[in-house]
Amino acid sequence: MTYSIAVLGAGKIGEALLAGLLGGGRRVEDLMFTERHPDRAAELTTRYGFRAVDVATAAKEADVIVVAVKPQDIEPLLDELGPNLDVGTLVVSLCAGLPTTLYERRLPDGVPVVRVMPNTPMVVGEAMSAISPGRYATGDHLATVEELLSVVGVVVRVPESQQDAVTALSGSGPAYFFYLVEAMIDAGILLGLPRAVSEKLIIQSAVGAAAMLAKTGEHPVTLREAVTSPAGTTIMAIRELEKHGVRAALLDAIEAARDRSQELGRQHDED
C-alpha cells in the first residue's frame, strides 16, 4: 500500500528502518526524516535520497510518523509534534520504555499510537519487532505497522504490559550475543590463535548455531546436548560456565534491563 512515512530521529534504528523500507520497494519520495544535525541529514539524503524535513512538515505530509529518538529526547519532540499533528496520522514509537499513554496525553486527542520494540538486525532484514496497540489504535493500524516492519524482519504482537520485558530480551538481545562473541574471540587469542582466525571460527559458529536454532525446530537444550560428548571437551567448558554463574548472571542482567525500561517510562509520568 502507498503511504508516506516520516522517521523522526534518523539515528541507528531510524536509518535501518528507512533503508530497509527503501530496499523493500517503498518509493523514496514516500520516505522522509527529521534530524538534529544538518551534516547527518545531508549524509542520509546523499546516500539514499530520502527527504530531510522539519517536524511540522513531517506532521503535515506523512501518513505514518515513526518516533526514533532516544527516550531522553522525547519531551521537546512531542512539544513540537503535538500542535502540528492531524488526528488521522498514525504514530509509531520505537522508543524503549515509553508507554503509549505518554503520546496519548501529549498529542491531539484520539491519535492512534502503536508501540514497537525492534532490534538492530533490522540492518540485514532480520529484525525482531514486537508491537502493541495504544488506546486508539485499531486492528487496521496494527496491520499497517505489521506490514511495514515485516519488510525488515519478523513481527509479533504482544500486550503493552510485556514491552519492558521484550525490550530487555530482544531489544537489547543482540548486544548480549555480540558481547559473547567478543569474549569468545578473546579466548581464541588467549589460546594463541591469530585474531583473524579466532574471529572467523567464532562468527561462523555463531551463524551456524543461529541457523540451527531457526531451521531445525529443535530445542536449544537438545542442540547443546548434541555437542556435549560424554567425558569430552564441551562438558568441561560447561562446568566452568556453571561454576561462574553465567546462567544466573544472564537472568540478573535481563532483569536489570527490564527495570531500566520501566524506569525510562516512569521518568515521564508527571507531565
Ligand X SMILES: O=C(O)[C@@H]1CCC=N1
CB count in 10 Å sphere of residue 253: 14
Our CB check for ligand X shows the closer of 98 and 202 to be 98
Q: Are the CB atoms for 212 and 223 separated by under 8 Å?
A: yes
DSSP 79-100: HHHGGG--TTSEEEE--TT--H
Only segment of 27-35, 45-53, 83-91, 165-173 that touches ligand X (CB under 6 A): 165-173
95 binds, among ligand X, ligand NDP, none (CB under 5 to 8 A by kind): ligand NDP
Q: Are the CB atoms for 56 and 1 separated by under 8 Å?
A: no
Only segment of 25-33, 103-111, 167-175, 200-208 that touches ligand X (CB under 6 A): 167-175
96 lies in the binding site for ligand X (CB under 6 A): yes
H/E segment holding residue 33:
strand 31-34
Query: C-alpha cell of 86?
Result: 492531524
Q: Which segments are annotated as binding site for NADP(+)?
A: 68-71
171 lies in the binding site for ligand X (CB under 6 A): yes
Using CB atoms, what's the residue nearest to ligand NDP? 11
Whole-angstrom distance, CA of residue 26 vs CA of residue 148? 10
Residues in touch with ligand NDP (CB under 6 A): 8-9, 11-14, 34-37, 40, 68-71, 73, 76-77, 94-96, 117-120, 171
Residues in contact with ligand X by the rule CB under 6 A: 96, 167, 171-172
